[in-house]
């Protein structure tokens, strides 16, 4: 069997992805996780895992540095990476939303005509507002999006909501949901053919672990 390199999104999806993989015997040792190396092997040596920022997962997979990856649908939509997507893993459910301060949100959508919108999803946000004919100024940030309205950098944000805690803690409310997201398994197009049996085995294991 070929070894597969799998890119895993650091952060919210990392622990749950490793938990499901461990249920089917794909275990990354604590020592490997603690090593702070970007690339580590599972205990069986069948897979190597690349731990990268969520937005980088589709890029590594598209370019074949990783054969497969696990990342959110939101990240995949934003990247528009040309990858094969064999499985909706179902976990890591969250929503990509437009949010704003309570007082602005109460006044409704029309306010968006003058909005500055902070986001790490500039492509999705641009499409969303363009479809509604709303000219907005997009402010591209890579993190701490929720601080932008608090600090006066933007009027609204386009960001992920999982529990809602981050919005609540920053006095923000959801104005509209753009898309629902869950974790996806993605596969490099060449690997999907060249390592077909190994990829199929991984898909089967994940289906089993997730009762899909």
Q: Which stretch binds ligand PRP (CB under 6 A): 23-31, 122-130, 156-164, 182-190?
A: 156-164
**Dihedral angle sign, alpha carbons of residues 153, 155, 158, 164:** positive
186, two tokens:
């993605």
The single residue among 161, 172, 175, 187 that binds ligand PRP, judged by CB under 6 A, is 161
25, two tokens:
């015997």
11 binds ligand PRP (CB under 6 A): yes
Question: Which is nearer to ligand PRP, 54 or 69 (by Cβ)?
Answer: 54
**Virtual torsion, Cα 47, 192, 207, 49, nearest 10 deg:** 20
159 binds ligand PRP (CB under 6 A): yes
Phi/psi-derived region of residue 2, left when phi > 0, alpha when psi is between -120 and 50, beta in every other case: beta
The single residue among 1, 163, 197, 211 that binds ligand PRP, judged by CB under 6 A, is 163
* 3-state secondary structure at position 88: strand
Q: Which stretch binds ligand PRP (CB under 6 A): 81-89, 130-138, 142-150, 204-212?
A: 142-150
The single residue among 145, 148, 158, 185 that binds ligand PRP, judged by CB under 6 A, is 145
58 binds ligand PRP (CB under 6 A): no
CA distance 198 to 212: 19
Tell me the CA end-to-end span of the chain in Å, nearest whole number.
Answer: 24
Q: Which stretch binds ligand PRP (CB under 6 A): 33-41, 157-165, 174-182, 185-193?
A: 157-165
- Smallest gap from Cβ 144 to ligand PRP, in A, equals 7
The single residue among 143, 152, 197, 211 that binds ligand PRP, judged by CB under 6 A, is 143
CA distance 157 to 119: 6
* 3-state secondary structure at position 135: coil
191, two tokens:
């690997």
164 binds ligand PRP (CB under 6 A): yes
Q: Which residues bind ligand PRP (CB under 6 A)?
A: 11-12, 54, 143, 145-146, 159-166
């Amino acid at each position: 069997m070929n070894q597969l390199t799998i890119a895993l999104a650091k952060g919210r999806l990392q622990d749950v992805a490793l938990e499901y993989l461990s249920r089917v015997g794909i275990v990354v040792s604590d020592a490997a996780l603690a090593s702070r190396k970007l690339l580590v092997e599972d205990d069986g040596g069948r897979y190597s895992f690349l731990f990268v920022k969520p937005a980088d997962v589709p890029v590594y997979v598209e370019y074949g540095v990783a054969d497969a990856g696990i990342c959110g649908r939101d990240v995949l939509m934003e990247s528009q990476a040309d990858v094969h997507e064999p499985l909706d893993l179902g976990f890591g459910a969250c929503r990509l939303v437009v949010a704003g301060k309570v007082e602005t949100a109460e006044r409704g959508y029309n306010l968006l005509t003058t909005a500055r919108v902070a986001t790490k999803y500039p492509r999705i946000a641009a499409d969303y507002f363009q479809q509604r004919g709303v000219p907005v100024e997009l402010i591209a940030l890579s993190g701490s999006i929720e601080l932008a309205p608090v600090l006066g950098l933007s009027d609204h944000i386009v960001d992920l909501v999982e529990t809602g805690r981050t919005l609540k803690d920053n006095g923000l409310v959801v104005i509209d949901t753009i898309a629902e997201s869950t974790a996806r398994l993605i596969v490099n197009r060449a690997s999907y053919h060249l390592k077909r049996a190994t990829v199929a085995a991984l898909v089967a294991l994940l289906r089993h672990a997730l009762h899909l």
